[in-house]
Amino acid sequence: MQPILYYVEPWQFSPTVLLACALPVTAYARGMMVARRAGEQTGFWRPAAFFIGFGLIYTALQTYVDFLAQHMFWMHCLQQMFLHHLGPFLITLAMPWDTVARGTPPLLRDRVVGPLLRSRMVQSVYGFVRDPLVAPVLFVGMIYFWLVPAIHFTAMLDVHRYRAMTWGMAVDGLLFWPLVITPLTGRTRHGLGYLRRIVMLFCVMVTQIILGAYITFHGSILYNVYGICGRAWSISPMTDQQIGGLLLWIPPSMMSAIAFLINVRFVMHDPGTPEAARSAVANAAGN
């Protein structure tokens, strides 16, 4: 039991991380109880996706994974995949917003959270990052920026830059995935159209493949900071870099492909989609 606790207990305890994960999880759990008391079915897969998603984010930020991410490049890439891709992706698939709102205490929801989200500043920033040109550039640019060798070197040695990097990846993922895998129904009907999403996802996938392939097949060591920090395991720096490159290449590309298929399904089942758009998407998916 002791070795298990060693790996799951906080490596460097952060009350901010604990609150950022515990508050929405608690609100979601309370919202589920409210729904069940009202006789509504909460299902299994959506709650599972929500809790696993936040579990991955917590794991990446607060457990022994955080230590390993500072001492192995491939573990750093795995951490970023949890924060930027898989965790936010699963949270978005759960479509938890109504459940979280129902589980938030009314005073907090109506007096604090609601006015804050409706404020002009928040709406302006949110509108900017949801722009179909800005969102994919920001999503991929965040990865590229922090993997520039000189920038990555300083980020891994400066705790403030390191926290800015990890938090920025998580927040960016939570902003991007709802934009591209949320169905356009009811209140979300004004969201980004399916065809634009598919183009965005294709561009994101291609740029991630390019970056991952570049790092995987590069003939020299790009990230020598891990030699300075000390590697957690005795594998060669080149092997470490190649595994990291594959993690940047294959899983994120697969997730973009899954998001593409999700949008194809939305298009084919959405009665508001023009027939011409359905045919175009069906042909693209078939090819």
How many Cβ atoms are within 10 Å of 139's Cβ, its own excluded? Answer: 25
Report domain extents, the chain: 2-286
Region 110-124: what's the mean pLDDT? 88
Q: Give 117-172 as a DSSP string.
A: HHSHHHHHHHHHHTSTTHHHHHHHHHHHHHHSHHHHHHHHH-HHHHHHHHHHHHHH
The mean predicted confidence, pLDDT, of the chain is 88
Distance (Å, whole) CA 151 – CA 265: 40
Please give the residue that has the higher pLDDT: either 64 or 281: 64
CA within 13 Å, CB half, 285: 20
pLDDT score recorded for residue 207 = 95
139-170 per-position pLDDT tens digit: 999 999 999 999 999 999 999 999 999 999 99
d(CA 87, CA 78): 11
CB 93 within 8 A of CB 49: yes
Tokens of 247: 């993690």
Contacts of 19 (CB under 8 A, 6+ apart): none
For tokens 């591209």, what's the residue? 180
How much is the pLDDT for 263? Answer: 87
pLDDT in tens, 209-245: 999 999 999 989 999 999 888 888 889 999 999 999 9
pLDDT score for 125: 87
Model confidence at 187: pLDDT above 60: no
- In tens, the pLDDT along 4-13 reads 666 677 778 8
Reported as a single tens digit per residue, the pLDDT across 190-208 is 567 888 888 899 999 999 9
Phi, psi dihedral angles at 235 (to 5 degrees): -115, 160
Note whether 142 and 168 are within 8 A (CB): yes
Q: Where are the beta strands (DSSP E) in the chain?
A: none
pLDDT, average across residues 64-73: 92
Q: Does the pLDDT of residue 30 top 90, yes or no?
A: yes
Helices then strands, each counted (H, E), the chain: 17, 0
Q: Is 146 exposed, middle or buried, given 0-12, 13-18 or 19+ CB atoms closer than 10 A?
A: buried
Give me the mean pLDDT over the 247-272 stretch: 87
Gap between the Cα atoms of 123 and 114, Å rounded: 12
